[in-house]
């Protein structure tokens, strides 16, 4: 394959600095998503919950625009559990993902 360069995950990790990490966030309390460094004004949606207040028309968008009045916080492992999204993988790649690791879950108990 001429002209194609393949990178291993380890090469990507070493080239990524703290400012370039993908932020895992909770948007307005009802949507779990992530913010890419190259798109800092947009949240990419992992899961939106109408039970937590997401409007019905917001259930399947691929992204949401961020404005200055939007409430956004770094997601925790508990947030992933609450939104029923697997946290496995995100926790192993801390060089790539930024999240709030102040509360972690071990065997179903918050520590």
pLDDT digits (tens, 9 = 90+) for 12-35: 444 445 568 999 999 998 999 999
CA separation for the pair 59, 74 (Å, rounded): 20
User: Domain residue spans in the chain?
Assistant: 13-98
Higher pLDDT, 105 or 54: 54
- 8: pLDDT confidence band, cut at 50, 70 and 90? very low
pLDDT at 68: 87
CA separation for the pair 7, 94 (Å, rounded): 18
- 78: pLDDT confidence band, cut at 50, 70 and 90? very high
- 2: pLDDT confidence band, cut at 50, 70 and 90? very low
pLDDT at 38: 93
Which DSSP string do the residues of 74-101 spell out, in sequence order?
E--HHHHHHTT---TTTTT-TTTEE---
Whole-prediction pTM: 0.71
CB-CB neighbours of 79 under 10 Å: 20
CA separation for the pair 50, 91 (Å, rounded): 26
């Amino acid at each position: 394959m001429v002209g194609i360069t393949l990178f291993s995950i380890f090469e990507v990790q070493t080239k990524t600095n703290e400012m370039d990490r993908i932020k895992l966030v909770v948007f307005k309390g009802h949507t779990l998503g992530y913010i890419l460094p190259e798109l800092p004004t947009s949240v990419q949606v992992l899961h939106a919950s109408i039970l937590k207040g997401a409007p019905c028309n917001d259930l399947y968008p691929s992204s949401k625009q961020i404005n200055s009045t939007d409430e956004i916080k770094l997601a925790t492992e508990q947030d992933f559990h609450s939104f029923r999204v697997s946290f496995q993988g995100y926790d192993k790649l801390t060089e790539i993902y930024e999240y709030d690791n102040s509360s972690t879950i071990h065997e179903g108990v918050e520590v």
